[in-house]
Chains A and B, each alone.
Chain A
Amino acid sequence: GENVEQHPSTLSVQEGDSAVIKCTYSDSASNYFPWYKQELGKGSQLIIDIRSNVGEKKDQRIAVTLNKTAKHFSLHITETQPEDSAVYFCAASISSNDYKLSFGAGTTVTVRA
């Protein structure tokens, strides 16, 4: 099955700096890549996603890039703020395979004030 690896497992950044989380996937048929943010004591939320026909997508301070050849995708958070502190999960799925999600291990991001 699909194997998604996520790095780093923890990331500490100074407020205002950028944070980058990288994921690789194994199944070249994967074509949908969502990112989720899970905050302590709260539910999770989809923050951004990208499909395999697009190389980059941006939404305000968050951007995701996809390199299909290398089978990796990354989350970029610019101008980090304390409320960005959370656990972030990347995932990959194949739209022709019932959208079964394969998740990375998660990255705990801490933004220092």
Chain B
Amino acid sequence: DGGITQSPKYLFRKEGQNVTLSCEQNLNHDAMYWYRQDPGQGLRLIYYSQIVNDFQKGDIAEGYSVSREKKESFPLTVTSAQKNPTAFYLCVSSKQGANTEAFFGQGTRLTVV
């Protein structure tokens, strides 16, 4: 079955360390997005990519980096420059065009210890 998979589900990181969150989809979607959710807040866009080898910053890109070397994969790296990385991270993929049907990953909860 087609779908979008995030891993791991829970992740712990020590302060000062970089960590990479995985997002893979086999839906043949061109667009992939990374969002961050904090308690009581909406989904805030970190980075998005609409085509392989291209990506754009979202509203809160500082302290994060991404790559899109393959259509199926859009990993997010949380760097040590991100001052408050503890949050729930959600990966989304979607078709392009007039009917933008989006699929959500299950999310990764990152905790800095």
> How distant is the Cα of A104 from the Cα of B98 in the complex, in angstroms?
20
Say yes or no: A105 contacts B45, CB within 8 Å. Answer: no
A64 interface hit (Cβ, 8 Å): no
Say yes or no: A44 contacts B42, CB within 8 Å. Answer: no
* Max chain A C-beta neighbours (<10 A), residue from B4, B41, B59, B100: B100
Say yes or no: B92 contacts A101, CB within 8 Å. Answer: yes
> How distant is the Cα of A98 from the Cα of B45 in the complex, in angstroms?
14
A interface residues, how many (CB within 8 angstroms): 27
Q: Which secondary structure dominates chain A's binding surface?
A: strand
A66 interface hit (Cβ, 8 Å): no
Say yes or no: B4 contacts A43, CB within 8 Å. Answer: yes
The chain A residue sitting closest to B1, CB to CB, is A43
Say yes or no: B43 contacts A104, CB within 8 Å. Answer: yes
Chain B residues whose CB sits within 8 angstroms of the CB of A5 once the complex forms:
42
Say yes or no: B100 contacts A32, CB within 8 Å. Answer: yes
Say yes or no: A105 contacts B50, CB within 8 Å. Answer: no
> How distant is the Cα of A4 from the Cα of B104 in the complex, in angstroms?
17
Nearest CB of B to A48, in Å: 12
Range, interface on chain B: 20 to 34
Chain B residues whose CB sits within 8 angstroms of the CB of A106 once the complex forms:
42-43
Say yes or no: A98 contacts B50, CB within 8 Å. Answer: yes
Nearest CB of B to A31, in Å: 10
Say yes or no: B101 contacts A99, CB within 8 Å. Answer: no
Q: Contact mask A33-74 → B, CB, 8 Å, 1/0?
A: 010101000011010010000000000000000000000000
Chain A residues whose CB sits within 8 angstroms of the CB of B31 once the complex forms:
98-99
16 sampled A-B residue pairs with Cβ under 8 A: A5-B42, A9-B40, A34-B102, A43-B104, A44-B103, A89-B43, A91-B102, A95-B98, A98-B96, A99-B96, A100-B48, A101-B102, A103-B92, A104-B42, A105-B41, A106-B42
List residues of chain A with CB under 8 Å of any chain B CB: 1, 3-6, 9, 32, 34, 36, 38, 43-44, 46, 49, 89, 91, 93, 95, 98-106
List residues of chain B with CB under 8 Å of any chain A CB: 3-4, 31, 33, 35, 37, 40-43, 45, 48, 50, 58-59, 92, 94, 96-104
